[in-house]
Amino acid sequence: MDINRERLMNDLKDLGAIGYIEGEGASRMAYSQAFFQGRDLVKARMEAAGLSTAIDAVGNLTGLLPSATGKSKKKIAIGSHIDTVPKGGIYDGALGVLAAIEVIRVLRENGYANDHPIEVIAFNEEEGNVIGGTFGSKAFAGAPLEGSMIQPMGRQNISEADFASCKRPAEDYLAYLEYHIEQGGILEASQKTIGIVQGIFGILRYRARVTGMANHAGSTPMSLRDDALEKTCCVITDLMDRVRASGDTMVCTVGTMALQPGAVNVIPGQTEFIIELRDKTMPGMYQVIEELCAQWEEKGLSLEPYITQPETLCDSQLCALAQETAQALKLPYMKMYSGAGHDLINASFLMPALLLFIPSRSGISHHMDEYSSPEDIRAGAHVLLELLKKIDKGRFKHED
């Protein structure tokens, strides 16, 4: 059994053409006309593959292949998303959904008798440009509704009851598999075809403020200044040094800053900026922040946490099975972490989950130059196919 590479590539091109503008990329933001057109295409391909389809109240599309042998009621879910960022690429999300459909086609063509029902999921609004990041899978997993989502939900005629109605029961599911492009350059640089993702980085964000003293830019000598921006530069340099010293996985970004009062002839009296940290576990990040505060608090730094998103761990048994699968297929693979968030974060609240990556050329994503080679695409789908069969035939035991 193997993936039909041309058929999968054609699906990617067909979906990718919807909302695509030459020189710009693909724009299929959730709830847009192009999104609905794309979802219609995916739904039709699901049905042609023999799946019975359904769409829930937030717009997640599912396609179900019932168990052929009737041996189990627990579904194996394979999914990703089919919305895009504005002017995005054609692989992000779409790959995981279309490869899942291709896997079903291959299983059926080969007369495979599945013990478990298999559900292909095309999540909606993963990108978060319309309502909020991973909105569709949040509803699917029954994650708490975030206040910032309510107004934009209203604009799409989605009520809180609609959101709640999408929650699936955990006991219906055995495992979730997501196949996605890496969106970074680690696999390419390491010359590996398959990334077996051990987990998704946790995120900490703080609103930071450094206070100094605003004063006249001409009449205040350097020795009498308390320049908030100058101090901020030292704070950020110190922060980055601490992050680099902490190991090679933690990343840190200061991507926005505002100065008060913000005039060319006034020494900055205050800076406000956001510190974002990501790492595979949380304690190292908390330690960096603690040390930073100890060093700078008395000199005017204050921090207020506003986003704490714990790391997500992929299921270790599924990771081991994926490793075994890649080895058997003689594909170069590596274990890695994902710095980007995915629908898997929510799916993993419901069931054990695994994320598989293939290389993104030059690490580019969310851009029309996003590209993964047809051979890598086939290889990843092949791993998905063989892994699914292992799980289906009892190689994965779900301990409740």
Q: Rounded to 10 degrees, what is the CA torsion of 137, 377, 248, 252?
A: -50
Q: Does 79 bind Zn ion (CB under 5 A)?
A: no
C-beta separation of 371 from 211 below 8 A: no
Confirm if 131 and 149 have CB atoms less than 8 A apart: yes
Residues 89-108 contacting Zn ion, CB under 5 A: 92-93
Contact 337, 365 (CB under 8 A): no
Task: Work out whether strand 202-211 and strand 301-309 pair parallel, antiparallel, or are unpaired.
Answer: antiparallel
Residue among 115 and 127 whose Cβ is closer to Zn ion = 127
When computed from its CA atoms, the radius of gyration of the chain, rounded to whole angstroms, is: 24
Give whichever of 26 and 214 is closer to Zn ion, judged by the CB atom. Answer: 26
For residue 137, the minimal CB distance to Zn ion (Å) is 11
Comparison of 92 and 315: residue with beta carbon closer to Zn ion: 92
Q: How far apart are CA 267 and CA 180, in angstroms?
A: 48
CA pair distance 31, 130, nearest whole angstrom: 8
Closer residue to Zn ion in complex, CB, 93/132: 93
Least separation in angstroms between CB 85 and Zn ion: 9
Closest CB to Zn ion among residues 92, 119: 92
Nearest distance in Å: CB 93, Zn ion:
4
CB nearer to Zn ion: pick between 93 and 117: 93
The minimum distance between CB 8 and Zn ion, in angstroms, equals 17
Question: Under the criterion CB under 5 A, does residue 343 sit at the interface with Zn ion?
Answer: no
Residue 354 token pair:
């695994």
Stretch that binds Zn ion, among 85-93, 102-110, 193-201, 352-360 (CB under 5 A): 85-93
DSSP of 189-216: HHT-SEEEEEEE-EEEEEEEEEE-B-EE
Give me the residue whose beta carbon is nearest to Zn ion: 93
125 lies in the site for Zn ion, by CB under 5 A: no
Instruction: Establish if 119 lies at the interface with Zn ion (CB under 5 A).
Output: no
The size of the interface with Zn ion (CB under 5 A), counted in residues, is: 2
What is the closest distance, in whole angstroms, from the C-beta atom of residue 27 to Zn ion in the complex?
15
Distance CA 153, CA 59 (A): 12
Least distance (Å) from Zn ion to the CB of residue 81?
6
Question: φ and ψ at 368, to 5 degrees?
Answer: -65, -20
Please give the residue ranges that form the binding site for Zn ion (CB under 5 A): 92-93
